[in-house]
Amino acid sequence: MEFTHLGRTGLKVSRLCLGTMNFGPHTTEADSHAIMDAAHDKGVNFFDTANVYGGAENKGSTETIVGNWFAQGGGRRERTVLATKVYGDMGDWPNEGRLSALNLRRALDASLKRLQTDYIDLYQFHHVDRETPWEEIWQALDVAVQQGKILYVGSSNFAGWHIAQAQEAAARRNFVGLVSEQSKYNLLARAVELEVLPAAQHYGLGVIPWSPLAGGLLGGVLRKENEGKRRQQAEAIQKHRPQLEAYENLAAELGHEPGDVALAWLLAQPAVTAPIIGPRTMEQLDAAERALDVRLDDKTLDRLNEIFPGHRTAPEDYAW
């Protein structure tokens, strides 16, 4: 396993981040525990979850599964850089969601209880809260840091100007502020290259891409379709079919699986710390690990950019 610093921090994390969103809704607790054990065996020390994961009727259950795994001991918690998220409504009563100081305090304590730990390494805002001032947010998290309940703070799904706004407000308090941004980023979804990635690089945030395989579209979907293994995403497949055909042909030419190429492309982007892999099965975890051995030369990267055109930094992308 390769390791790198999370943004400008001294914290070292694996180049792959284990996403847990499938744990509970699609993967049993026993299988989830086995996947987490296998991830540690492979050197993956960076795990991502969220307080709302578990499904609409079982919010919090994914954190509970992770907490039960920690409770088995054996250095599981100590060897894990644990990231979770806050924002989504956990109930239908006022102040059970978003980023008010009250909800941040309650949600953090609830996550700690479910996760059976006394601290969270990376506490992330699942979404920007346009109704709560940053002064309130940072004051609440400053207290949480002083209490030893969290070590670092990250964002998710932020615009570039949200990152700038958050960091400038944190600087006024002499607070570290954000150290990471979790965004949707893959060969088919490159809008973050306009302003989010430049903002993250300017402020020293590590970027943690989610949906690195575009919901499976970049995982060899056409081949699986031909083999009769794919019945979903028909509309998206048709929309991107020429690109996907060229992409899968390129992967075959390189001698790699399409999903490995998609992950390797992300790992080659300078702003990226660790793509989030969200395996439902052990086989999917094994497949993701292969990407670490894929090296894409400049010619291949240029061909991928021809198939999936990206963005230049704003305003050059649209001004001249």
Active site residues: 53
Q: Is 42 helix (H, G, I), strand (E, B) or coil?
A: coil
180 strand-pairing partners:
154, 206
Is there a contact between 91 and 51 (Cβ–Cβ < 8 Å)? no
Is there a contact between 261 and 219 (Cβ–Cβ < 8 Å)? no
Q: Within 10 A of 31 (CB to CB), how many other CB atoms are there?
A: 16
**Is-cis flag, bond preceding 198, omega within 30?**
no
Report residue 125 as tokens: 């805002």
- Alpha helix ranges (H) inside 1-45: 29-41
Rg (CA), the chain: 20
Q: Is 186 helix (H, G, I), strand (E, B) or coil?
A: strand
φ, ψ dihedrals at 277, nearest 5°: -100, 135
Is there a contact between 86 and 124 (Cβ–Cβ < 8 Å)? yes
Q: Which residue's entry shows tokens 């700038």?
A: 164
Q: What is the distance between the alpha carbons of residues 80 and 74, in angstroms, rounded to a whole number? A: 12
